[in-house]
Amino acid sequence: MEKDAHPYIPNSPRKIRNTLLKEIGVNDISELYSDVPERLFYKGKLKLPKVHSEYEIFKQVRRMLKKNRTVLDMCTFLGAGVWPHYIPAVIKALISRGEFLTSYTPYQAEISQGMLQTLFEYQSLMAELLEMPVVNASMYDWASALGEAALMTNRLTKKKVFLVPKIIHPERFSTLKTYAESAGIKIVQVNFNRDTGQLDLNDLDSKFNEFRGEVAGVYIENPSYLGFLETQVDEVSDIAHRNESLLVVGVDPTSLGVIRPPGDYDADIVVGEGQPLGNPLNFGGPLLGIFATKDDMKFIRQMPGRIIGMTKSEDGKYRGFVMTLQTREQHIRRERATSNICSNEALCAVAAAIYLSLLGKKGIVELGKTILYNSHYAMKKLNAIDGVKAPYFKAPHFKEFLVTFYREGISVETVHEKLLEKGIHGGKNVKREFPEFGESMLLCVTEIHTKEDIDELVSAIKEIVEGGR
Amino acid sequence: MVKEFQQAKWLEPLIFEIGGEGRIGHIVPNPDDEVKKEVGDIEKLIPEKLRRKDEPKLPELSEVEVVQHYTRLSQMNYGVDTGFYPLGSCTMKYNPRINEELASMEEVMWIHPYQDERTVQGALELMYKLERWLAEITGMHRFTLQPAAGAHGEFTGVQLIRAYHEYNGELDKRDEIIVPDSAHGTNPASAAMGGFKVIVVPSNENGCVDIEALKAAVSERTAGLMLTNPNTLGIFEERIEEIARIVHDVGGLLYYDGANLNAIVGKVRPGDMGFDIVHLNLHKTFGTPHGGGGPGAGPIGVTKELEKFLPVPLVEYDGEKYYLDWDRPHSIGKVKGFYGNFNVLVKAFAYILALGEEGLKTVAEISVLNTNYLVKKLKEIKGFELPYGKDKPRKHECVFSASPLKRDTKVRALNVAKRLLDFGIHAPTMYFPLIVHEALMIEPTETATKEQMDEFIESLRKISEEAYSNPEIVLSAPHNTSVTKLDEAMAARPKTLFLTWKMYLKKSSE
Ligand SMILES: Cc1ncc(COP(=O)(O)O)c(C=O)c1O
């Protein structure tokens, strides 16, 4: 084997290189870098690996990653923004097809109909789930989609305050602030009811008074970060619209087979996390930012991101799909674009489209029901333990809930540690974020948790809590 | 030697138009009977006013139909795995399959970001080491792996520029970011999104930043300059050190758009050119697939001075274990949830292992060799010219203009691009950069074969001949793709704007 030949670089062998050099009319590749100032070339040896064979890569990366313990190895009850769901085998087989996997953003529509139609189907399937007529081809994730939504409410209303609940995912909140504050938008938090977690409507009213005429949008989440459902959606929607503000709703799409879709209570913009629809945990990325709005040109023109539209061939004979309304986007509008987003999370949207097609109208309802059953079973069993309260809030819940430990000497940390010893991974410790809820952990139960898994968790917690007596 | 090509043409219906009532493509696990008994009536768990009344109007298909539908759709798509993809600025190189295999390990797919750090040491180690390698390759001090794409990296970089000036008490007066007129659209868009005014500087006759214009543009209001080098014409900005000095002298920062690193990777480092902030597109230089538009990853590297502003968390190592450091008081906070597109990071890690220091240099050199071979051959074709810096070698890409062709024959860059599809070759990037009329931006990358490039050259030669002799066949292209030329105007007209099936049904019933 020639020293320079590499499997990924077909023209690397000496003879081919020389042919090309000769054709160009230079003697050495260095002549093609003659315009680069000599002192800029790195002279030392870079601290990088040597060339590895595929087997060596296979072995080395596997050895490193095998140090991880997966949620399949230890029964895990973590959610909080990325949730464990089963991924049908069909999805991996289809999204691994090179025609999808190795294509770029479909700039040349006629040769990219496969990706374009699939993304149009993603937009359409999501539209049915959300009951929102317009959905874009994806954003990076829920958090950044929320940031973009705040910016969009500002463009639409020219107002500068964005109201969000105090109970919100801290990472989502931090991302929102990054996006909003540099655009001059002020983020203000609205109180919640201590017992139920529900938005405090009096405080919402008073925020509207305090910032009269300045509120661009009100944001609520359903289900909320801590798992409870916000039941006053119609009331919040009314208050927002009465004050000429927009309603932005964040969703977990797996809930929408059983829970009222945001389009039904007049949401102006919907964001959310599409990961649970056929996308793996992947240590938190890539994710799939959902972004939807109303069928109103005023809104559509202010949407960020790629949008696929259905059209016809110029001769009128065939249906086809193209990226449309591109005059909103950075490559045309530059500094006046609605967003800077270019690459998005297309392949994750493809996975979501396949997932929703597989489940269909019945399957998505079944999914919601199974999650309801399993999570409520877990709540009920945990709540029966002396010194444990689940859920913390007196409110309906979907798949996540706070479990609180009351017994003297039992901290979230102890429970977590002892569970781990038993090969179980508990939920997220939310003490730092919400100290007011005491020794609380956010548990997540989905369709992948069996009765045995839940029973095991319950008896482990019982043992830990009662053992601490 | 041009290829005869016919793309699959399935006239595939929409997913909503197929299937049959009662079919199901996947069975969701049913709760245990005892679970059901224990929980009782779940209707009661959700208050009436929050219950979904009607099933969502999703289609009903069997697993078989779903597989066939999306397999057919995939056959109506074109990827690097299909053939030559010289889409300029996008670095459409081969995406090694071993990387996919590693990224689909259970130890990647099934780990949760909030797992106890002791249970994800492998993931943290990979991120830690990747960060060090990227720092070494770019000559930067530290990286955040959080941004999800190039533009997201730019957004993050602009926030870092803000944080830096704010820290120095100068944000009030520094409200301008300078970008060259040849810049990618994301650069001005990112600067504006971060709250800055965008000042555009023109290029000179060599396609490089006009130094005099830059001197005139900088002031105490300058927050920074965003630049890619080699630039979007594929030309190396020779006077980069001078540019850096001009911007630094007025107190601004230098931002590097790393989308074009491929030509210099392993050879020249942005940090050594004077850049303070650098983004990389792992989905370009580091061989991770584009997935039809993502997911990618756009890590951001910075100098030591800017390290404290990086988003939280960073991965640290205490000599025994890897951990996430959230305690960073000067941090700009977060730009998205969690730690970045981890599965893309795994692929980039494996890519760097495969190439190593030597191989990365070869990547750069062969990508440049391939580009200059194309330049040499395409210059000979009637109707195309190479504007700017005519005698300068190109780096990762070259930008030809079809202006002479348009003048002589009415055939435009768009038509040339569409006709190329007929020969089974993906078109170059069109109409970018904006400073070239009728632009065709061509980037072969190091993974093209000489034979593919020759076929590309022959195809363009044939298209030129056609344009001069039988322009109709070019003007009406493409002919051999799944569909013929699509009506983009119709797609954007409010009356016929169909962005979802729902919207289509509603409008067609009105
Ligand atoms: C020069 C340049 N800068 C920035 C970007 C944006 O990268 P991304 O699409 O990953 O956001 C691109 C990609 O299109 C590019 O070519």
CB contact under 8 A, A339 and B193: yes
Contacts of A343 in chain B (CB under 8 A): 149-151, 283, 290, 293-296
- Cα of A452 vs centre of ligand 1, distance in Å, is 48
Q: Does A384 touch chain B (CB under 8 A)?
A: no
pLDDT, tens digit only, all 469 positions of chain A: 567 789 999 999 999 999 999 999 999 999 999 999 999 999 999 999 999 999 999 999 999 999 999 999 999 999 999 999 999 999 999 999 999 999 999 999 999 999 999 999 999 999 999 999 999 999 999 999 999 999 999 999 999 999 999 999 999 999 999 999 999 999 999 999 999 999 999 999 999 999 999 999 999 999 999 999 999 999 999 999 999 999 999 999 999 999 999 999 999 999 999 999 999 999 999 999 999 999 999 999 999 999 999 999 999 999 999 999 998 888 888 888 899 999 999 999 999 999 999 999 999 999 999 999 999 999 999 999 999 999 999 999 999 999 999 999 999 999 999 999 999 999 999 999 999 999 999 999 999 999 999 999 999 999 999 985 4
Residue B149 CB–ligand 1 contact under 6 Å: yes
Size of interface A-B (CB pairs under 8 A): 726
d(CA B309, CA B329): 8
Q: Which of residues 306-345 of B touch A (CB under 8 A)?
A: 312, 332-344
pLDDT one-digit tens code per residue, A331-360: 888 888 899 999 999 999 999 999 999 999
Task: For ligand 1, say whether the CB of B284 is within 6 Å of any of its atoms.
Answer: no
Nearest residue, CB atoms, B154 vs list A69, A99, A340: A340
Q: Whole-angstrom Cα distance, residue B111 to residue A285?
A: 11
Cβ pair B81:A331 closer than 8 A: no
- Smallest Cα distance from B397 to chain A, Å: 13
Asked whether the beta carbons of residue B337 and residue A118 sit closer than 8 angstroms, the reply is no
CA pair distance A122, A350, nearest whole angstrom = 7
Subunit contact A108:B504, Cβ cutoff 8 A: no
- To the nearest whole angstrom, how far is the Cα of A189 from the nearest Cα of chain B? 18
**A374/B31 touch (CB, cutoff 8 Å), yes or no:** yes
Residues A185-216 as b/e (b if ≥16 CB within 10 A, e otherwise) read bebeebbbbeebbbbbbebbeebbeebeebbb
Place of tokens 């993603």: A122
Taking the CA atoms of B166, B170, B171 and B177 in sequence, report the sign of the dihedral they define: negative
Q: Are B151 and A340 in contact (CB under 8 A)?
A: yes
Cα B243 to averaged position of ligand 1 atoms, centre (Å): 22
Q: In angstroms, what is the span from residue B257 Cα to ligand 1's centroid?
A: 8
Token readout for B341 is 């597109």
Residue A1: its pLDDT value, please?
53
Residue in A closest to B20 by C-alpha: A360
Mutate to test the interface with A, among B60, B65, B67, B112 (most CBs of A within 10 A): B112
Tell me what pLDDT residue A468 has. Answer: 57
Does the Cβ of B258 fall within 6 Å of ligand 1?
no
* Contact call for B373 and A23, based on CB within 8 A: yes
Contact A126, A292 (CB under 8 A): yes
Structure token digits, residue A390: 């689940």
Distance, in Å, from the CA atom of B234 to the CA atom of B89, rounded to the nearest integer, reads 9
Cβ-based neighbour number of residue A468 at 10 Å: 16
Instruction: Return all residues near B356 (Cβ < 8 A) that are at least 6 apart.
Output: A48, A49, A50, A51, A52
Helix (H, G, I), strand (E, B) or coil at A162: strand
Shortest CA gap A469–chain B (Å): 26
Beta carbons within 10 angstroms of residue A231's beta carbon? 17
Q: φ, ψ for residue A81 (rounded to 5)? A: 110, -25
Given ligand 1 and candidates A330, A331, A343, A345, which is best to mutate, with the most ligand atoms within 8 Å of its CB?
A: A343
Instruction: Give the residue ranges of chain B where pLDDT is below 50.
Output: none
Q: Which of B107, B101, B141 is nearest to B124 (CA)?
A: B107
Cα–Cα distance, A144 to B285 (Å, whole number):
25
How far B389 CA sits from the closest chain A CA (Å)?
A: 11
Q: What is the pLDDT of residues B402-429, one digit of tens each?
A: 999 999 999 999 999 999 999 999 999 9
Assigned token pair, A349: 């949207």
What pLDDT is attached to residue A333?
87
Across the interface, whether the CB atoms of A96 and B186 are under 8 A apart is answered no
Q: Is B20 on the interface with A (CB under 8 A)?
A: no
A286/B77 Cβ within 8 A:
no
Q: Which residues of B touch A271 (CB under 8 A)?
A: none
Token pair in block for residue A426: 């508990």
The atom number, within ligand 1, closest to the CA of B260 reads 1
Q: CB distance B116–A416 less than 8 Å?
A: yes
Which pLDDT value is given to residue A2?
63
By three-state DSSP, how is residue B388 classified?
Answer: coil
Of B66, B122, B337, the CB nearest to A358: B66
Put simply, the answer to whether B241 touches A361 (Cβ < 8 Å) is no
φ, ψ for residue B318 (rounded to 5)?
A: -100, 15
Write down the pLDDT at residue A288.
Answer: 98
How far A403 CA sits from the closest chain B CA (Å)? 17
Confirm or reject: Cβ of B228 under 6 Å from ligand 1.
yes
Give the burial class of B440: count Cβ atoms within 10 A of its Cβ; 0-12 exposed, 13-18 middle, 19 or more buried: buried
Q: Which residues contact A75 (CB under 8 A, 6 or more apart)?
A: A423, A424, A425, A449, A453, A456, A457
Q: Ligand 1: distance of its center to the CA of B228 in Å?
A: 11
Nearest residue (by CA) to ligand 1, atom 13, is: B90
Helix (H) or strand (E) holding B376: helix B342-378
Residue with tokens 């489940």: A359
Residues 41-70 of B with CB under 8 A from A: 42, 45-47, 49-53, 55-61, 63, 66-67, 69-70
Measured in residues, chain B has a length of 510
Nearest to A40 by CA among B373, B402, B268: B268
Answer yes or no: is the C-beta of B186 below 6 A from any ligand 1 atom: yes
The C-alpha of A208 sits at a distance from chain B's nearest C-alpha, in angstroms, of 25
Q: Which domains does chain A have, with CATH numbers?
A: 1-46 (no CATH), 75-86+362-467 (3.90.1150.10), 89-356 (3.40.640.10)
Choose which residue among B281, B399, B443, B445 to substitute to test ligand 1 binding: the one with the highest number of ligand atoms within 8 A of its C-beta: B281
Residue A21 CA, chain-centre distance (Å), reads: 48
Which of B446, B481, B499 is the closest to A111 by Cβ?
B481
**In chain A, how long is the greatest CA-to-CA distance?**
85
DSSP codes joined into one string, A233-300: HHHHHHHHHHTT-EEEEEE-GGGTTTB--GGGGT-SEEEEE-TTTT---GGG-S--EEEEE-S-HHHH
What is the Cα Rg of chain B in Å? Answer: 26
Which residue from A24, A124, A320 is facing B501, i.e. has the nearest CB?
A: A124
pLDDT for the residue numbered A4: 74
Contacts of B312 in chain A (CB under 8 A): 174
C-alpha dihedral sign at B297, B303, B309, B314: positive
Query: What was the pLDDT predicted at A467?
Result: 83
Contact B172/A at CB under 8 A: no
Enumerate the domain spans of chain B.
128-354
The model's pLDDT over A32-51, given as tens digits with 9 standing for 90+, comes to 999 999 999 999 999 999 99
Shortest alpha-carbon distance between residue A162 and chain B (Å): 17
Classified by CATH at the fold level, domain B128-354 comes out as Aspartate Aminotransferase; domain 2 (3.40.640)
Coil, strand, or helix at residue A451? helix
Q: Name the burial class of residue B249, with classes exposed (0-12), middle (13-18) and buried (19+) by CB atoms within 10 angstroms of its CB.
A: exposed
pTM: 0.98
Distance A148 CA to ligand 1 centre (A): 19
CA diameter of chain B: 80
Nearest CA to ligand 1 atom 9: A343
- Residue of A17, A21, A61, A355 to mutate for B, most B C-beta atoms under 10 A: A61
Task: Report chain B residues whose CB lies below 8 A from the CB of A361.
Answer: 55-60
